[in-house]
Structure 1
Amino acid sequence: AAAAQQQQRQKHVAVVGCGVNGLCTAWQLLERGHRVTLLEQFPVPHSRGSSHGHSRITRYAYKEAEYARLMRRAFPLWSRLESLSGQRLFINCGMASLGSGAYLRNISEVLESNSMPLERLSGQSLASRFPRLAGFHDCVLDPSAGILLADRCLQALRSRVAQLGGRLRDCVRVTAIEPQPDGSVRLRLSGSGTAAAASAEELTADSVVLAAGAWAGQLLSGLGLELPLRPIGVTAMYWRLRRGEGAAETGDFGPEKFPTFDYQDKDFHVYGLPELEYPGMVKICMHDGPDLDPDIRETREQREPYYLPELTDFVRRWFPHLVPEPAVTEKCIYTLTPDRGLIVDRHPRHRNILFVCGCSGHGFKLGPVIGQLLSEMATGQPPSEDLAFMSAGRFKHGVTSAKL
């Protein structure tokens, strides 16, 4: 009888998109005993979306208290994945918030009011702890923060999903999402590549989670939801340490002596990570970029690194031990919302169609808790957090024509 009851409760969930949010949702659903089919339009792994790359900053230090609280749940889940995978996924080098006094005050207030650890460093204490940040004079350090090794995290998630019996199908594009009269959802699929037409097929699931990154707008539009999503092309840049005279000491830019950092002053927003993936290079990037169509990556504007003069000036001013021109550049996509907050919600008329999108360049670290919340919603449970701050409805023209 218990087995029959379990069978009754078990749902088949289709998850569209195999980036960090899709994989985390699949992981959490499978841990709860549900059946999962993951669908990915590109070959796995790939670098066409928003989840690839070697490193991501993870932190409690948020200007918004709601996200700081979500991170409280995300950190232990990353630790659990790390122990399940037997691989190091996180480097705890801390994060220094730098920039305007207003920004530092804001970060301090959120960390303090949520009883999260922080350290204020200035002058000599900053110079002795992090010699290469000495020029900044003041910083708020989030000592729990650090670096998630993104590609390794994705690999660990794929392994766990496979271990738990999840099915992952890559090179399959979802062409339509059709709610059925019996409450199920039918997905129309086409294989990518030459035999695409021949391999058209369909899949039916009890519920669907859309975690489609920069492609979310297209899929949601087909369901009558027009959300203010703006994909942009972001260039990750790596800056080489100077050789010879004026060179940094060995290890000065390594994770032991150089934390991740986030610099904000009015609209100017730069972040950086220590020497890690490329020996002798530090990652320093603008948190912005030009609009792009995710299916047409390489416009001329995309090839020119965005904001290069401002970023070069920043590196020259604050990091004289780095050569002030990028040695390596890599492409990534952010999908922005007007308030730079995530959207996690369900379709207003089809409550078994859920979606996460608009992660605005700060979603990776939140992946496991977003996956947990979506897995609850996809199986008919109330979410274990108040999600009003991530609702689609907060954008006035958010849900214009839910026509289905």
Structure 2
Amino acid sequence: MSTNGEFDCIVIGAGVQGSFTAYQLAKRNQKTLLLEQFVLPHSRGSSHGQTRIIRKAYEQDFYTHMMKECYELWAQLEREAGVKLYRYMATCLHIEKLNPYHQSPSLTGWMEEISVGDGAFVDITAGVLYADRALKTVQGQFEKLGGVIRDQEKVTDIKPGPVVTVSTSAGVYQAKSVVITAGPWANRLLAHTGLQLPLKVVKINVCYWKEKVPGSYDVKQRFPCFLRTENEESKVHIYGLPSNEYPGLMKICYHVGSETDPDQRDKQTDRSDISILQRYIARGFPGLVPEPAVVESCMYTLTPDEHFVLDRHPSHSNIVFGAGFSGHGFKFGPIIGKLLCELALGEVPSYDLSPFRIRRFQDKTNSAL
């Protein structure tokens, strides 16, 4: 079989997780190919858009611990590239079972403003990541290290073996190891390897709301990001970011969506989440027009417990995957890239990955594990 190239590692999917994985592999002197089915940059998956919330405060200790190093890795990338990737701004967190490594009583005015009431916490290290800029930056650093990006190449087959063969719409490649970070398309690619995971893809309506008085909720006024939970399971349902990416428009979204096919995303027209947000904004944000000015689309790939999947294939240890980032994975990109790189190189990972192993789904997967 003639091939278009031989590599140490092939990473499939150039979203934030795949791009950071490829970057980490290139830093380890691995000849690495990063494949993407769409033309870059694109808005078809889960890593696009201008902003994401970054925070350390989590109910689960394992996330808080990972985020400590993750902040360092974000800062390292900023220094390497000479690009500003995030902005600190205290974030109000209304989570009943939060791991409160920092609390502050000084949030009173903000709490009244965003109607979170009692039991709010504030994460003084939190802020906003510039998502599109971060993705472009890490891909650029990967290429500076000698990495190869091939976009508009859809993977059509993966043949496991001591050397893995990856066929695309444009060629055939071989590598000692493969990392699959394909977001909503993860199970379609894993099917080539005889594995399926309990992943559900949902479409999220990303909504922006117009300020009645320009600047009222602006980032320059130090208005915070916020996360609001509505039930005892402490799952975030509503989150918001100050006016920044679109002048005069505040980003407030519902963290829940309706199931969709990633290739038919725009046929999913459920707006029940927008109705919930309209009622919430009318009640809690009198300074916003309670009708979204802009609605964009994103997709979450959810696991049943909403924790990530970071693991090696049970039958092919040189095939590694990261999936199911469940709408809260972007901020972890640098550390997930490091962990998937370690797995691809056959190393012991830097963190305990037991919360992320597929064995927790053993009774629910369609494959013998």
Q: Shorter-chain TM-score: what band?
A: over 0.9
Q: CA deviation at 1:346?
A: 0.6
Q: Does 1:313 align with 2:292?
A: no
| Equivalent runs, 1:178-197 vs 2, <5 Å | 178-180=159-161, 183-191=162-170
- Tell me the TM-score normalised to structure 1 length: 0.85
Cα distance in 2 between the residues matched to 1:134 and 1:332? 26
| Equivalent runs, 1:3-82 vs 2, <5 Å | 12-82=8-78
Aligned to 2:300: 334
Identity fraction in percent: 41
Cα distance in 2 between the residues matched to 1:378 and 1:402? 22
Residues 50-93 of structure 1 deviation map (CA, whole Å, 9 limit, x = unaligned): 00000000101111111111111211101111111211110101
Aligned to 2:172: 202
Aligned to 1:143: 124
| Distance of aligned partners of 1:253 and 1:131 in 2 relative to their CA distance in 1, 3 Å threshold | farther
Cα distance in 2 between the residues matched to 1:154 and 1:45? 9
Q: How many residues align?
A: 361
Cα distance in 2 between the residues matched to 1:61 and 1:272? 16
Q: Does 1:281 align with 2:277?
A: no
Cα distance in 1 between the residues matched to 2:363 and 2:166? 26
Cα distance in 2 between the residues matched to 1:162 and 1:44? 14
Aligned to 1:120: 104
Q: Does 1:322 align with 2:288?
A: yes
Contact 2:211–2:217 (Cα < 8 Å) also in 1? no
Aligned to 1:374: 340
- Partner SS state of residue 283, structure 1: strand
Bigger Rg over Cα? 1
Aligned to 1:253: 218
Cα distance in 2 between the residues matched to 1:132 and 1:265? 17
Aligned to 2:194: 224
Aligned to 1:161: 142
Picking from 257, 263, 275, the partner of 1:295 is 263
| Distance of aligned partners of 1:135 and 1:178 in 2 relative to their CA distance in 1, 3 Å threshold | closer
Contact 1:209–1:355 (Cα < 8 Å) also in 2? yes
| Distance of aligned partners of 1:213 and 1:263 in 2 relative to their CA distance in 1, 3 Å threshold | same
**Aligned-partner residue type, residue 111 of structure 1:** P
- The root-mean-square deviation of aligned C-alpha atoms, in Å, is 1.9
| Distance of aligned partners of 1:398 and 1:313 in 2 relative to their CA distance in 1, 3 Å threshold | same
Cα distance in 1 between the residues matched to 2:116 and 2:11? 47
Question: Which consecutive residues of structure 2, in runs of 5 or more, have no partner in the other structure?
Answer: 1-5
Cα distance in 2 between the residues matched to 1:64 and 1:130? 24
Q: CA deviation at 1:135?
A: 6.6
Cα distance in 1 between the residues matched to 2:91 and 2:79? 23
Contact 2:310–2:353 (Cα < 8 Å) also in 1? yes
Aligned to 1:213: 183
Cα distance in 1 between the residues matched to 2:244 and 2:110? 19
Contact 1:226–1:398 (Cα < 8 Å) also in 2? no
- Tell me the TM-score normalised to structure 2 length: 0.93
Aligned to 1:96: 92
Contact 1:392–1:398 (Cα < 8 Å) also in 2? no
Contact 2:11–2:180 (Cα < 8 Å) also in 1? yes
- Partner SS state of residue 310, structure 1: helix
Residues 114-168 of structure 1 deviation map (CA, whole Å, 9 limit, x = unaligned): xxxx2233xxx43446773367355200000111000000111111011000000
Cα distance in 2 between the residues matched to 1:203 and 1:127? 57
Contact 1:132–1:319 (Cα < 8 Å) also in 2? yes
Picking from 330, 355, 358, the partner of 2:321 is 355
Aligned to 1:173: 154
Contact 1:59–1:142 (Cα < 8 Å) also in 2? yes
Cα distance in 1 between the residues matched to 2:160 and 2:273? 44
Q: Does 1:111 align with 2:137?
A: no
- Partner SS state of residue 320, structure 2: strand
Cα distance in 2 between the residues matched to 1:37 and 1:338? 31
Question: Which consecutive residues of structure 1, in runs of 5 or more, have no partner in the other structure?
Answer: 1-9, 113-117, 192-200
**Aligned-partner residue type, residue 236 of structure 1:** V
Picking from 353, 360, 368, the partner of 1:387 is 353
Contact 2:7–2:33 (Cα < 8 Å) also in 1? no
Q: Does 1:396 align with 2:366?
A: no
Q: CA deviation at 1:13?
A: 0.3
| Distance of aligned partners of 1:53 and 1:252 in 2 relative to their CA distance in 1, 3 Å threshold | closer
| Distance of aligned partners of 1:206 and 1:251 in 2 relative to their CA distance in 1, 3 Å threshold | same
Picking from 238, 246, 264, the partner of 2:229 is 264
Answer with 79-88 or 264-273: which moved more: 264-273
Contact 1:136–1:318 (Cα < 8 Å) also in 2? no
Contact 1:126–1:133 (Cα < 8 Å) also in 2? no
Q: CA deviation at 1:396?
A: 2.9
Residues 261-314 of structure 1 deviation map (CA, whole Å, 9 limit, x = unaligned): 100021671000011011111100000111010011222xx2343412211111
